[in-house]
Amino acid sequence: MKPDSSFQDIATRLAHVHERMTVAAHRAARHPADIMLVAVSKTHSPDHVRAAVAAGTYTFGENRVQEAAPKIAALHDLPRRPRWHMIGHLQRNKARLAVELFDLIQSVDSLRLAETLNQHAHELGRRVPILLQINVSGEASKEGFVLPGGIANHAAYAQLLSEIEQIAALPQLEVRGLMTIPPLTDDPEESRPYFRLLRELRADLARRLPQTRWNDLSMGMSDDFEVAISEEATIIRVGRAIFGER
């Protein structure tokens, strides 16, 4: 990889993101090491990923299996293998390749998808860590399990619980927590109610299904991850603040 100012900018921006993470964690009386940064590398080149690795980041998020596959292959020569998270909508016909490629699938949004992943994981001899994507806003444009009215909507919540229990019982999948994407807004504070809903859902699921790990909350992106950290996010997904505009 040839030296390039844009690659040097990645290191500078990464340092700034880590500084923001540290400040937000301390403000919330949390340890920065308890928060995982996923650098969202979708639409960015393998060389940009190499620059981020050179700056000390090793976990990357991709939205599309077909984009991730050649990128991951192009980076096979790195001395330390990056970890790859699937963070975009996953079609069932791409599930087998996703099982082969990704260390964590954050965007499991239906029982049918979970069952398909479980089948392929069994065939490939893998146990796959997953997060359940929750559409906390109920927006039709977003993927995820929908819970209108939150956990106070007892009928809808009972249906969601039934599906989550079935997913948690699948032997080749390891449920680790929840993921969400709040509505797009110019004010980061407007994301807080949605982050809080996910946090409350995680707490209730941990109480109801204690045999399942509910350690992770994946929420918060470039503009609002400080708010997410204050609401107990353990994973933040940051693209533009690291790689710049696409």
Q: The domain that contains 166 carries what CATH number?
A: 3.20.20.10
β-strand partners of 173: 128
The rounded Cα 159 to chain-centroid distance in angstroms is 24
Please check the confidence at residue 4 and state whether its pLDDT lies above 70: no
CA distance 192 to 182: 9
The predicted model scores a pTM of 0.94
Give 45-101 pLDDT, tens digit per residue.
999 999 999 999 999 999 999 999 999 999 999 999 999 999 999 999 999 999 999
Closest CA to 243 of 50, 80, 29: 50
Please check the confidence at residue 153 and state whether its pLDDT lies above 90: no
Give 22-51 pLDDT, tens digit per residue.
999 999 999 999 999 999 999 999 999 999
CA dihedral of 72, 76, 77, 78, whole degrees rounded to 10: 60
Are the beta carbons of 114 and 108 closer than 8 angstroms? yes
> Tokens for 187?
């004010």
Helices vs. strands in the chain: H and E counts, helices first: 9, 9
Please check the confidence at residue 139 and state whether its pLDDT lies above 50: yes
Angle, alpha carbons 191-138-88 (nearest 5°) = 75
**Domain range for 143:** 5-243
Q: How many domains, the chain?
A: 1
- Say which DSSP state 92 is in: G
Predicted pLDDT of residue 2? 45
The rounded Cα 96 to chain-centroid distance in angstroms is 19
Predicted pLDDT of residue 202? 95
